[in-house]
Amino acid sequence: MGATRIPGNITQGSTAKGGIGESTLRPDGTLKVTGEFAYSSDMWHEDMLWGFTLRSPHAHAEIKSIDTSEALAQAGVYAVLTYDDLPTDVKNYGLEIQDTPVLAHGRVRHHGEPVALVAADHPETARRAAAKIKVEYVQLPVVHDEQTALAEDAPLLHPGRDDHHAGHVPHPNVVHRQPIHRGDVAAARARADVIVSGEYVVGMQDQAFLGPESGLAVPAEDGGVDLYIATQWLHSDLRQIAPVLGLPPEKVRMTLSGVGGAFGGREDLSMQIHACLLALRTGKPVKIVYNRFESFFGHVHRHPAKLWYEHGATKDGKLTHMRCRIVLDGGAYASASPAVVGNASSLSVGPYVIDDVEIEAVALYTNNPPCGAMRGFGAVQACFAYEAQMDKLAAELGMDPVEFRRLNAMSQGTLLPTGQVVDSPAPVAELLRRIKAMPLPPERQWETAGESADVRALPGGLSNTTHGEGVVRGVGYAVGIKNVGFSEGFDDYSTARVRLEVVGGEPVAVVHTAMAEVGQGGVTVHAQIARTELGVTQVTIHPADTQVGSAGSTSASRQTYVTGGAVKNTCEAVREKVLELGRARFGSYHPAWATAELLLESGKVVTDGGEVLADLVEVLEGEAIDLELEWRHRPTEAFDLHTGQGNGHVQYSFAAHRAVVEVDTELGLVKVVELACAQDVGRALNPLSVVGQIQGGTTQGLGLAVMEEIVVSKEAKVRNPSFTDYLIPTILDTPTIPVDVLELADEHAPYGLRGIGEAPTLSSTPAVVSAIRAATGLALNRVPVRPEHLTGT
């Protein structure tokens, strides 16, 4: 509907230029494209030192002694620190369970664990000095899988652990366990005409962000420290850092620096405490920058998983029951494993109606690399398994796999296995209909009239391995469900500070949050919200730091919902203050102000074509409204540790994919031709950014399907810690990704929006593997799919 002109330079029914609903361009976009953007690794300080971390070459070993004398004697070295040099009794940290040592003490539990720190006047000097540190190790038996972790004589990786998860786990090497029981599975199983089961394996995926860990710690005159860091959660870092340093939180001042991607890998600490310790010891600024090799050891990864599933269905295609067991390898330390278990179990049924279920999910302690948050965590592993099961059931019943899914799709009002009701739109069947209705790409695209084949469009690409011989096409479908926001009773909130004043005769808003901008576009959306709610054109986004209240983590698809909600809420409060000022100055006798007041109260004040509401300027002249408020979404509750019942999640998001692949069946090479997506986003606050998020998540799912895996030996050694051997999709590997955006508003969310970034990562992986199965006829129960899985070699 068109806008209605109202006197006073006010427009009703539209948004301010650059407001909600527009594809406003990113303020940092040009700088990043031209290489002018300052990332954390670009920071510099006069007279700064360089830090380096000595890491364990073993996955499990006792530390008998550490000799640092030769390292300290090297010219240019200012400090060498070990566990014994830590300043307080607090020597561990962790997201949920404080089980991770700042520096190893007594033993190391994974390959690459930090053992000692060096500060020197040059990065190469620091590396050479670290190489002179003599550590005497005695290797211990390695726990590397479920069998070795849960054996009666298994080494206990954390003996005597005492935390809130320990009371209900079957073994001390289990980090967390979550069962879910609902209905009568035995009776439902008896009604099934078809029962299928399968075992599935998901490899360890790396977040593969392009900017390795880096930061700069600067000692302050008050005895504190200023830390400039690339992270996902400033206040969580602060909560873990300050006690180790023995400083009050107000003396550890953190400022977000340029972040080169995250995807969950920056939710845990890496070098934050190490840089601060070295800076405080030397009295000089200390910069630490990991290289790519160090980065693979410096952050957590996606949990590898083994999943067993059983489904039953009647002959007319209705699902009867589901049983599953999900085993996640958490590695040496807990990180986010408890939350990943909660997600994996509560979302293990997928976006389907199944009344009778028996579910168990566990996470293990092993000597493998620590695993934690990664885009779609827990739900990604489950989606690969349950979507493979849907294809199996459809084949057994002789049904179209899309129609079988649509027949069993959940909808608004569906009761989940946890007992929670889906109380917002759940258009699973519609997304599947849309994705199937999209036109397929032409076949044999490599063929050109009268000329040789265009090998770029073939499996193997420019390697020129085939000209179409033995190449078979396959099409596959998948759909997934992902929770939005932190769950299970976590106090998930965000804070926003908004200042409104007149500068140079124009109203200007400043938005200050602690939200970590990691590439998701939050800085763009926050400005759009302020323009919409306050009717101003000029909005400045203050750098994120800990001088404002917490914004929580940039993860769980939550920031637009929660911090966007906080910005909206604070802007509304600022708008109310404007009303109070206006009433005080104008009373009820000023005709223009009466119109402005009416529109302000309705939340529809916006500027028209960049013009300024004159009355607003007059009201604010000489005044500044500055408010900082917290905002919380509706509460959640913990899942019962025996039954799994509970309203554990805030919101759900849904995406469906159709993959078109071509497979060279002789060489086992795969070309993903197209990976189409249909997703419900509630409301697209920035349509361009929405499509970018969907395409990015889709590409990461493609990587897990056919390329990405950290290979860990039985000795728990990482074998491929580099982008030479750990492959990620390049532009040549990325297919066409058409996107169909559906907008069905969630009435419980700000603007009706849904979290977007994670859902496409779920269903893209099983869609690609389903298409490869269709092309080859192979079972393919493991990702990533490798050439040898397709050729039998």
Q: What does pTM read for this prediction?
A: 0.94
Note the pLDDT of residue 608.
Answer: 37
pLDDT at position 12? 29
Residue 522 has pLDDT above 90, yes or no: yes
Asked if residue 604 has pLDDT above 80, the reply is no
pLDDT at 188: 98
Q: What is the average per-residue pLDDT within 571-584?
A: 84
Is a pLDDT exceeding 80 seen at residue 161? no
Whether the predicted pLDDT of 611 surpasses 90: no
Tell me which long-range contacts 289-292 makes (C-beta under 8 A, separation of at least 24): 289/41, 289/50, 289/123, 289/212, 289/213, 289/214, 290/212, 290/213, 290/214, 291/212, 292/212, 292/721, 292/722, 292/723
Nearest to 472 by CA among 673, 335, 271, 641: 673
pLDDT, tens digit (0-9, with 9 covering 90-100), for 294-306? 999 999 999 999 9
Q: Would you say residue 438 has pLDDT above 70?
A: yes
Query: Strand 739-742 to strand 669-680: parallel, antiparallel, or no bridges (unpaired)?
Result: parallel
**Which of 236-240, 249-253, 577-581, 725-729 has the least mean pLDDT?**
577-581
Summarize the confidence of residues 451-476 as an average pLDDT: 88
Q: Is the pLDDT of residue 83 over 50?
A: yes
Q: What confidence tens digit (pLDDT) does each residue in 296-351 have?
A: 999 999 999 999 999 999 999 999 999 999 999 999 999 999 999 999 999 999 99
Q: Which helix (H) or strand (E) element contains residue 234?
A: helix 234-245
Q: Is the pLDDT of residue 618 over 90?
A: no
Q: Distance of CA 470 to CAs 453, 623, 675, 749, 775, Å?
A: 14, 74, 22, 51, 11
What mean pLDDT comes out for the span 642-653?
97
**Model confidence at 650: pLDDT above 80:** yes
Domains in the chain and their CATH numbers?
42-140+212-259+266-298 (3.90.1170.50), 493-632 (3.30.365.10)
Bridge partners of 157, per DSSP, are none
d(CA 83, CA 135): 13
Helix runs in 323-469, H state only = 337-346, 379-397, 401-407, 428-437
Tokens of 481: 């469900």
State the pLDDT at residue 651.
97
Q: Which residue has the higher pLDDT, 394 or 589?
A: 394
CA–CA separation, 83 and 274 (whole Å): 11
Average pLDDT over residues 499-514: 91
Query: Between 300 and 444, whose confidence is greater?
Result: 300
Of the chain, the percentage scoring pLDDT greater than 90 comes to 85
Confidence band (pLDDT; 50, 70, 90) for 600? low
Which pLDDT score, from 0 to 100, does residue 599 have? 53
For residue 641, pLDDT beyond 60 = yes
Q: Are strands 4-6 and 10-12 parallel, antiparallel or unpaired?
A: antiparallel
Per-residue model confidence (pLDDT) at position 580:
81
Q: State the pLDDT at residue 587.
A: 66
Nearest partner of 513 among 574, 570, 563, judged by Cα: 563
CA angle 706, 709, 712 (to 5 degrees): 145
H or E stretch including 286? strand 286-289
How far is residue 90's CA from residue 632's CA, in Å, rounded to a whole number? Answer: 31
Mean pLDDT for the chain?
92
Check pLDDT > 70 for residue 9: no
Is residue 588 very low, low, confident or very high in pLDDT (cuts 50, 70, 90)? low
pLDDT recorded at residue 184: 98
Report the C-alpha gap between 15 and 686 in whole angstroms: 13
CA distances from 146 to 108, 268, 365 (A): 20, 24, 9
Which secondary structure element, helix H or strand E, spans residue 675, and what is its range?
A: strand 669-680
* CA-closest candidate to residue 656, choices 633, 685, 678, 624: 678
Banded pLDDT at 507 (limits 50, 70, 90): confident
pLDDT at 746 over 70: yes
Q: What is the mean pLDDT of residues 231-242?
A: 98
Phi-psi region of 419 (alpha: psi -120 to 50; beta: other; left: phi over 0): left
Q: Is 491 helix (H, G, I), strand (E, B) or coil?
A: coil
How confident is residue 401, by pLDDT bands cut at 50, 70 and 90? very high
Tens digit of each residue's pLDDT (9 = 90 or more) over 623-636: 899 999 999 999 99
Model confidence at 606: pLDDT above 60: no
pLDDT of 1 reads: 27
Q: Which pLDDT belongs to residue 359?
A: 98
Which tokens belong to 669? 């090479």
- Tell me the chain's radius of gyration from C-alpha atoms: 27
- pLDDT at position 595: 54
